[in-house]
Chain A
Protein backbone atom coordinates (compact mmCIF):
# COMPACT_ATOMS: atom_id res chain seq x y z
CA UNK A 1 0.00 0.00 0.00
CA UNK A 2 1.20 3.51 -0.67
CA UNK A 3 1.17 5.35 2.57
CA UNK A 4 3.80 8.02 2.25
CA UNK A 5 2.95 9.29 -1.16
CA UNK A 6 0.11 11.61 -0.37
CA UNK A 7 0.81 14.18 2.33
CA UNK A 8 -0.69 17.25 0.70
CA UNK A 9 -1.04 19.49 3.71
CA UNK A 10 1.56 22.23 3.71
CA UNK A 11 3.24 22.90 7.05
CA UNK A 12 1.52 25.41 9.30
CA UNK A 13 -1.78 24.96 7.58
CA UNK A 14 -4.67 23.14 9.27
CA UNK A 15 -5.43 19.85 7.64
CA UNK A 16 -9.11 19.26 7.07
CA UNK A 17 -10.51 16.59 9.39
CA UNK A 18 -7.57 16.80 11.78
CA UNK A 19 -8.22 20.06 13.54
CA UNK A 20 -11.75 20.61 14.70
CA UNK A 21 -13.62 23.69 15.74
CA UNK A 22 -14.37 24.45 19.38
CA UNK A 23 -17.99 23.42 18.89
CA UNK A 24 -17.24 19.96 17.65
CA UNK A 25 -14.64 19.50 20.38
CA UNK A 26 -17.24 20.30 23.01
CA UNK A 27 -19.74 17.95 21.39
CA UNK A 28 -17.07 15.26 21.27
CA UNK A 29 -16.28 15.59 24.98
CA UNK A 30 -20.00 15.65 25.82
CA UNK A 31 -20.51 12.50 23.81
CA UNK A 32 -17.67 10.76 25.59
CA UNK A 33 -19.09 11.84 28.95
CA UNK A 34 -22.49 10.45 27.99
CA UNK A 35 -20.97 7.15 26.94
CA UNK A 36 -19.04 7.04 30.22
CA UNK A 37 -22.19 7.73 32.21
CA UNK A 38 -24.01 5.00 30.30
CA UNK A 39 -21.27 2.48 31.02
CA UNK A 40 -21.28 3.43 34.72
CA UNK A 41 -25.06 3.06 34.94
CA UNK A 42 -24.79 -0.33 33.29
CA UNK A 43 -22.10 -1.30 35.78
CA UNK A 44 -24.35 -0.20 38.62
CA UNK A 45 -27.09 -2.52 37.40
CA UNK A 46 -24.60 -5.38 37.16
CA UNK A 47 -23.42 -4.61 40.68
CA UNK A 48 -26.92 -4.38 42.10
CA UNK A 49 -28.45 -7.40 40.41
CA UNK A 50 -25.47 -9.74 40.44
CA UNK A 51 -22.60 -8.74 42.66
CA UNK A 52 -24.66 -7.96 45.77
CA UNK A 53 -26.04 -11.52 45.53
CA UNK A 54 -22.57 -13.00 45.15
CA UNK A 55 -21.28 -11.07 48.14
CA UNK A 56 -24.30 -11.64 50.38
CA UNK A 57 -24.51 -15.37 49.59
CA UNK A 58 -20.89 -15.74 50.58
CA UNK A 59 -21.45 -13.95 53.88
CA UNK A 60 -24.65 -15.91 54.62
CA UNK A 61 -22.82 -19.20 54.07
CA UNK A 62 -20.03 -18.14 56.36
CA UNK A 63 -22.40 -16.86 59.03
CA UNK A 64 -24.28 -20.16 58.97
CA UNK A 65 -21.12 -22.24 59.12
CA UNK A 66 -19.92 -20.29 62.15
CA UNK A 67 -23.06 -20.91 64.18
CA UNK A 68 -21.63 -24.12 65.62
CA UNK A 69 -25.00 -25.41 66.80
CA UNK A 70 -25.54 -29.03 67.82
CA UNK A 71 -26.75 -31.40 65.11
CA UNK A 72 -30.32 -32.60 65.54
CA UNK A 73 -30.74 -35.74 67.59
CA UNK A 74 -30.71 -39.04 65.74
CA UNK A 75 -32.69 -41.16 68.18
CA UNK A 76 -31.40 -44.71 68.76
CA UNK A 77 -30.15 -45.57 65.30
CA UNK A 78 -27.32 -43.97 63.40
CA UNK A 79 -29.48 -43.82 60.31
CA UNK A 80 -29.80 -40.09 60.19
CA UNK A 81 -31.90 -37.77 62.28
CA UNK A 82 -35.10 -38.87 63.94
CA UNK A 83 -38.48 -37.25 63.39
CA UNK A 84 -38.88 -34.66 66.08
CA UNK A 85 -41.97 -35.04 68.26
CA UNK A 86 -44.53 -32.27 67.80
CA UNK A 87 -45.02 -30.31 70.97
CA UNK A 88 -47.86 -27.89 71.41
CA UNK A 89 -47.32 -26.69 74.96
CA UNK A 90 -45.51 -23.55 76.01
CA UNK A 91 -42.36 -23.33 73.83
CA UNK A 92 -39.01 -22.12 75.12
CA UNK A 93 -38.41 -18.54 74.03
CA UNK A 94 -35.04 -16.84 73.64
CA UNK A 95 -34.35 -13.41 75.05
CA UNK A 96 -34.03 -10.75 72.39
CA UNK A 97 -30.34 -10.74 71.40
CA UNK A 98 -28.02 -7.82 70.73
CA UNK A 99 -28.33 -6.03 67.41
CA UNK A 100 -26.52 -7.89 64.66
CA UNK A 101 -26.47 -11.23 66.40
CA UNK A 102 -27.53 -14.20 64.28
CA UNK A 103 -29.86 -16.13 66.54
CA UNK A 104 -31.93 -18.29 64.18
CA UNK A 105 -32.13 -19.87 60.76
CA UNK A 106 -35.10 -20.17 58.48
CA UNK A 107 -35.94 -23.25 56.40
CA UNK A 108 -38.76 -23.08 53.87
CA UNK A 109 -39.44 -26.26 51.88
CA UNK A 110 -41.37 -24.21 49.31
CA UNK A 111 -38.19 -22.25 48.54
CA UNK A 112 -36.19 -25.36 47.68
CA UNK A 113 -34.34 -28.09 49.55
CA UNK A 114 -31.12 -26.08 49.72
CA UNK A 115 -32.81 -23.04 51.19
CA UNK A 116 -31.55 -21.95 54.58
CA UNK A 117 -30.96 -18.35 55.62
CA UNK A 118 -29.70 -16.73 58.81
CA UNK A 119 -31.95 -14.49 60.88
CA UNK A 120 -30.22 -11.62 62.65
CA UNK A 121 -31.44 -9.09 65.19
CA UNK A 122 -32.34 -5.71 63.70
CA UNK A 123 -33.63 -4.40 60.39
CA UNK A 124 -31.01 -1.81 59.54
CA UNK A 125 -30.53 -1.98 55.79
CA UNK A 126 -26.80 -1.49 55.41
CA UNK A 127 -25.62 -3.60 58.33
CA UNK A 128 -28.25 -6.35 58.63
CA UNK A 129 -30.48 -6.77 55.61
CA UNK A 130 -27.89 -6.06 52.92
CA UNK A 131 -25.39 -8.23 54.66
CA UNK A 132 -26.50 -10.85 57.14
CA UNK A 133 -29.78 -11.94 55.59
CA UNK A 134 -33.17 -11.84 57.26
CA UNK A 135 -33.69 -9.26 59.99
CA UNK A 136 -35.86 -9.43 63.08
CA UNK A 137 -37.81 -6.26 63.89
CA UNK A 138 -36.58 -5.22 67.35
CA UNK A 139 -39.32 -5.23 69.94
CA UNK A 140 -41.49 -7.77 68.16
CA UNK A 141 -41.90 -11.25 69.60
CA UNK A 142 -39.09 -13.80 69.47
CA UNK A 143 -39.67 -17.19 67.80
CA UNK A 144 -42.31 -19.21 69.60
CA UNK A 145 -43.44 -16.32 71.75
CA UNK A 146 -46.96 -14.96 72.04
CA UNK A 147 -47.36 -12.07 69.62
CA UNK A 148 -45.83 -11.56 66.23
CA UNK A 149 -42.30 -12.69 65.35
CA UNK A 150 -41.70 -10.18 62.54
CA UNK A 151 -38.93 -10.36 59.98
CA UNK A 152 -37.78 -8.47 56.91
CA UNK A 153 -35.81 -9.81 53.97
CA UNK A 154 -34.75 -8.79 50.50
CA UNK A 155 -36.90 -10.11 47.70
CA UNK A 156 -34.31 -9.12 45.09
CA UNK A 157 -30.56 -8.48 45.39
CA UNK A 158 -28.28 -8.93 48.45
CA UNK A 159 -28.79 -12.69 48.56
CA UNK A 160 -32.59 -12.26 48.24
CA UNK A 161 -33.69 -14.51 51.11
CA UNK A 162 -37.36 -13.70 50.45
CA UNK A 163 -37.12 -13.96 46.67
CA UNK A 164 -39.97 -16.46 46.34
CA UNK A 165 -42.11 -15.06 49.12
CA UNK A 166 -45.06 -14.66 46.76
CA UNK A 167 -45.02 -18.40 45.97
CA UNK A 168 -45.98 -19.30 49.53
CA UNK A 169 -49.39 -20.89 49.92
CA UNK A 170 -51.65 -21.33 52.88
CA UNK A 171 -50.41 -24.15 55.08
CA UNK A 172 -46.81 -24.07 53.84
CA UNK A 173 -44.37 -24.76 56.67
CA UNK A 174 -41.94 -22.01 57.70
CA UNK A 175 -39.40 -23.62 59.98
CA UNK A 176 -37.38 -21.45 62.34
CA UNK A 177 -34.51 -23.04 64.19
CA UNK A 178 -32.64 -21.57 67.12
CA UNK A 179 -29.70 -23.35 68.73
CA UNK A 180 -31.91 -25.75 70.66
CA UNK A 181 -35.46 -25.46 69.32
CA UNK A 182 -37.48 -25.91 66.15
CA UNK A 183 -40.49 -23.68 65.68
CA UNK A 184 -42.77 -24.79 62.87
CA UNK A 185 -45.04 -22.06 61.62
CA UNK A 186 -47.59 -22.41 58.84
CA UNK A 187 -48.57 -19.74 56.36
CA UNK A 188 -52.02 -18.33 57.03
CA UNK A 189 -52.49 -15.22 54.88
CA UNK A 190 -50.68 -12.73 52.75
CA UNK A 191 -51.36 -9.09 51.96
CA UNK A 192 -49.88 -6.23 50.01
CA UNK A 193 -49.57 -2.98 51.93
CA UNK A 194 -47.84 0.37 51.83
CA UNK A 195 -44.44 0.85 53.46
CA UNK A 196 -45.94 2.89 56.29
CA UNK A 197 -48.53 0.27 57.26
CA UNK A 198 -46.65 -0.76 60.37
CA UNK A 199 -49.69 -2.46 61.87
CA UNK A 200 -48.76 -5.63 59.93
CA UNK A 201 -46.04 -6.26 62.50
CA UNK A 202 -48.18 -5.43 65.52
CA UNK A 203 -48.48 -8.19 68.16
CA UNK A 204 -51.89 -8.74 66.60
CA UNK A 205 -51.59 -7.76 62.93
CA UNK A 206 -53.93 -4.87 62.20
CA UNK A 207 -53.64 -3.35 65.64
CA UNK A 208 -52.60 0.28 65.23
CA UNK A 209 -49.46 1.28 67.13
CA UNK A 210 -50.45 2.96 70.38
CA UNK A 211 -53.68 1.07 70.75
CA UNK A 212 -53.92 -0.99 73.94
CA UNK A 213 -52.81 -4.55 73.30
CA UNK A 214 -55.34 -7.13 74.47
CA UNK A 215 -54.22 -10.39 76.00
CA UNK A 216 -52.22 -12.28 73.39
CA UNK A 217 -53.27 -15.81 72.53
CA UNK A 218 -51.60 -16.43 69.17
CA UNK A 219 -47.99 -17.14 68.28
CA UNK A 220 -47.57 -15.51 64.89
CA UNK A 221 -44.83 -14.90 62.35
CA UNK A 222 -44.69 -12.15 59.74
CA UNK A 223 -42.41 -11.76 56.73
CA UNK A 224 -42.07 -8.41 54.98
CA UNK A 225 -40.46 -7.96 51.57
CA UNK A 226 -40.55 -5.36 48.86
CA UNK A 227 -43.30 -5.33 46.27
CA UNK A 228 -43.50 -5.32 43.34
CA UNK A 229 -40.14 -6.90 42.66
CA UNK A 230 -37.38 -4.37 41.97
CA UNK A 231 -39.56 -1.64 43.44
CA UNK A 232 -40.22 -0.30 46.90
CA UNK A 233 -43.67 1.12 46.24
CA UNK A 234 -45.35 -1.45 48.44
CA UNK A 235 -44.61 -4.35 50.74
CA UNK A 236 -45.47 -8.00 50.36
CA UNK A 237 -46.51 -9.40 53.71
CA UNK A 238 -46.91 -13.05 54.70
CA UNK A 239 -48.41 -14.05 58.03
CA UNK A 240 -48.05 -17.44 59.65
CA UNK A 241 -48.99 -19.09 62.91
CA UNK A 242 -47.08 -21.54 65.08
CA UNK A 243 -48.20 -25.11 64.52
CA UNK A 244 -45.82 -26.87 66.90
CA UNK A 245 -42.35 -26.70 68.34
CA UNK A 246 -39.75 -29.40 69.00
CA UNK A 247 -36.42 -29.71 70.78
CA UNK A 248 -33.52 -30.02 68.34
CA UNK A 249 -32.03 -32.77 70.51
CA UNK A 250 -34.99 -35.01 69.64
CA UNK A 251 -34.68 -34.83 65.87
CA UNK A 252 -35.84 -32.89 62.85
CA UNK A 253 -39.38 -31.80 61.96
CA UNK A 254 -41.03 -34.25 59.58
CA UNK A 255 -41.75 -31.43 57.15
CA UNK A 256 -38.02 -30.89 56.60
CA UNK A 257 -37.18 -34.58 56.37
CA UNK A 258 -39.96 -35.13 53.84
CA UNK A 259 -38.67 -32.27 51.73
CA UNK A 260 -35.16 -33.76 51.79
CA UNK A 261 -33.69 -30.74 53.52
CA UNK A 262 -30.29 -31.29 55.06
CA UNK A 263 -30.18 -29.87 58.56
CA UNK A 264 -26.87 -30.93 59.97
CA UNK A 265 -23.18 -30.41 59.52
CA UNK A 266 -23.14 -27.09 57.73
CA UNK A 267 -19.46 -26.93 58.52
CA UNK A 268 -17.95 -24.73 55.87
CA UNK A 269 -14.48 -25.53 57.21
CA UNK A 270 -12.34 -22.60 58.20
CA UNK A 271 -14.80 -21.38 60.78
CA UNK A 272 -13.61 -18.49 62.86
CA UNK A 273 -12.07 -16.78 59.86
CA UNK A 274 -14.32 -14.07 60.97
CA UNK A 275 -17.43 -12.77 59.33
CA UNK A 276 -19.72 -12.88 62.31
CA UNK A 277 -20.51 -9.36 63.31
CA UNK A 278 -18.25 -6.52 62.48
CA UNK A 279 -15.73 -8.38 60.40
CA UNK A 280 -14.64 -5.24 58.65
CA UNK A 281 -16.33 -2.67 60.75
CA UNK A 282 -19.38 -2.58 58.52
CA UNK A 283 -21.61 -4.20 61.08
CA UNK A 284 -21.74 -2.54 64.43
Chain B
Protein backbone atom coordinates (compact mmCIF):
# COMPACT_ATOMS: atom_id res chain seq x y z
CA UNK B 1 0.00 0.00 0.00
CA UNK B 2 2.08 2.89 -1.19
CA UNK B 3 0.91 6.47 -1.46
CA UNK B 4 -1.14 5.39 -4.45
CA UNK B 5 -3.83 4.11 -2.10
CA UNK B 6 -3.95 7.35 -0.07
CA UNK B 7 -4.25 9.33 -3.29
CA UNK B 8 -7.08 7.09 -4.51
CA UNK B 9 -8.90 7.75 -1.24
CA UNK B 10 -8.43 11.51 -1.61
CA UNK B 11 -9.47 11.37 -5.27
CA UNK B 12 -12.69 9.58 -4.36
CA UNK B 13 -13.49 12.40 -1.95
CA UNK B 14 -12.79 15.09 -4.54
CA UNK B 15 -15.00 13.33 -7.04
CA UNK B 16 -17.89 12.93 -4.61
CA UNK B 17 -17.73 16.56 -3.49
CA UNK B 18 -17.63 17.76 -7.08
CA UNK B 19 -20.80 15.77 -7.75
CA UNK B 20 -22.43 17.42 -4.73
CA UNK B 21 -21.47 20.84 -6.07
CA UNK B 22 -22.85 20.02 -9.51
CA UNK B 23 -26.12 18.77 -8.05
CA UNK B 24 -26.50 21.84 -5.79
CA UNK B 25 -25.77 24.09 -8.78
CA UNK B 26 -28.37 22.24 -10.83
CA UNK B 27 -30.95 22.62 -8.07
CA UNK B 28 -30.19 26.33 -7.76
CA UNK B 29 -30.39 26.88 -11.50
CA UNK B 30 -33.73 25.07 -11.68
CA UNK B 31 -35.36 26.54 -8.58
CA UNK B 32 -38.01 28.17 -10.74
CA UNK B 33 -38.38 25.50 -13.42
CA UNK B 34 -42.05 24.65 -13.69
CA UNK B 35 -41.70 22.48 -16.77
CA UNK B 36 -38.97 19.85 -16.54
CA UNK B 37 -38.31 16.82 -18.76
CA UNK B 38 -41.02 14.23 -18.26
CA UNK B 39 -43.55 16.88 -17.30
CA UNK B 40 -44.20 18.71 -14.10
CA UNK B 41 -41.86 20.93 -12.11
CA UNK B 42 -38.16 20.13 -11.69
CA UNK B 43 -37.57 17.70 -8.83
CA UNK B 44 -34.82 18.58 -6.40
CA UNK B 45 -31.88 16.18 -6.59
CA UNK B 46 -29.90 14.91 -3.65
CA UNK B 47 -26.57 13.07 -3.45
CA UNK B 48 -26.29 9.94 -1.32
CA UNK B 49 -22.78 9.23 -0.04
CA UNK B 50 -21.35 6.02 1.39
CA UNK B 51 -17.91 4.94 2.58
CA UNK B 52 -16.24 2.41 0.31
CA UNK B 53 -13.02 0.44 -0.08
CA UNK B 54 -10.40 1.15 -2.73
CA UNK B 55 -9.98 -1.24 -5.64
CA UNK B 56 -6.80 -3.25 -5.45
CA UNK B 57 -6.36 -3.08 -1.69
CA UNK B 58 -8.56 -6.03 -0.76
CA UNK B 59 -5.70 -8.31 0.17
CA UNK B 60 -3.44 -5.84 1.89
CA UNK B 61 -2.97 -5.94 5.65
CA UNK B 62 -4.87 -2.74 6.39
CA UNK B 63 -7.68 -3.16 3.88
CA UNK B 64 -10.35 -2.70 6.53
CA UNK B 65 -8.94 0.70 7.47
CA UNK B 66 -8.97 2.04 3.94
CA UNK B 67 -12.16 3.99 3.39
CA UNK B 68 -12.84 6.16 0.40
CA UNK B 69 -16.26 7.52 -0.52
CA UNK B 70 -18.64 7.03 -3.38
CA UNK B 71 -21.91 8.43 -4.61
CA UNK B 72 -24.30 5.51 -4.39
CA UNK B 73 -27.26 7.39 -5.72
CA UNK B 74 -28.48 10.73 -6.98
CA UNK B 75 -31.96 10.58 -5.62
CA UNK B 76 -34.89 12.69 -6.59
CA UNK B 77 -36.76 14.50 -3.91
CA UNK B 78 -40.17 12.99 -3.29
CA UNK B 79 -41.56 15.99 -1.43
CA UNK B 80 -44.62 17.55 -3.04
CA UNK B 81 -44.05 20.66 -5.16
CA UNK B 82 -44.50 24.17 -3.80
CA UNK B 83 -47.77 25.68 -4.98
CA UNK B 84 -48.05 29.36 -5.79
CA UNK B 85 -51.27 31.08 -6.63
CA UNK B 86 -50.85 32.67 -10.07
CA UNK B 87 -53.90 32.18 -12.31
CA UNK B 88 -52.34 34.12 -15.19
CA UNK B 89 -49.36 31.78 -15.44
CA UNK B 90 -49.38 29.46 -18.49
CA UNK B 91 -48.70 26.45 -16.22
CA UNK B 92 -51.47 27.33 -13.75
CA UNK B 93 -53.79 24.44 -13.00
CA UNK B 94 -57.60 24.59 -12.84
CA UNK B 95 -57.47 26.12 -9.39
CA UNK B 96 -54.97 28.79 -10.58
CA UNK B 97 -51.97 27.30 -8.79
CA UNK B 98 -48.54 26.85 -10.37
CA UNK B 99 -46.34 24.00 -9.12
CA UNK B 100 -42.75 25.06 -8.39
CA UNK B 101 -39.85 22.85 -7.32
CA UNK B 102 -39.54 22.53 -3.57
CA UNK B 103 -36.07 24.07 -3.52
CA UNK B 104 -34.71 26.38 -0.87
CA UNK B 105 -31.87 28.40 -2.41
CA UNK B 106 -30.27 28.97 0.97
CA UNK B 107 -30.08 25.23 1.56
CA UNK B 108 -28.48 24.70 -1.83
CA UNK B 109 -25.93 27.45 -1.18
CA UNK B 110 -25.00 25.84 2.13
CA UNK B 111 -24.53 22.51 0.35
CA UNK B 112 -22.30 24.17 -2.20
CA UNK B 113 -20.22 25.80 0.50
CA UNK B 114 -19.75 22.63 2.54
CA UNK B 115 -18.92 20.68 -0.61
CA UNK B 116 -16.41 23.34 -1.57
CA UNK B 117 -14.81 23.27 1.87
CA UNK B 118 -14.56 19.49 1.80
CA UNK B 119 -13.09 19.69 -1.71
CA UNK B 120 -10.34 22.03 -0.53
CA UNK B 121 -9.59 19.74 2.39
CA UNK B 122 -9.32 16.88 -0.08
CA UNK B 123 -6.80 18.87 -2.12
CA UNK B 124 -4.73 19.44 1.01
CA UNK B 125 -4.86 15.74 1.81
CA UNK B 126 -3.78 14.77 -1.70
CA UNK B 127 -0.95 17.33 -1.73
CA UNK B 128 0.29 15.99 1.58
CA UNK B 129 0.58 12.48 0.15
CA UNK B 130 2.55 13.85 -2.81
CA UNK B 131 4.79 15.77 -0.45
CA UNK B 132 5.49 12.69 1.65
CA UNK B 133 6.32 10.64 -1.43
CA UNK B 134 8.80 13.30 -2.49
CA UNK B 135 10.48 13.17 0.91
CA UNK B 136 10.82 9.42 0.53
CA UNK B 137 12.54 9.93 -2.82
CA UNK B 138 15.14 12.05 -1.08
CA UNK B 139 16.31 9.18 1.13
CA UNK B 140 19.96 8.38 0.56
CA UNK B 141 20.75 11.52 -1.40
A and B interact: no
Interface residues of B (CB under 8 A from A): none
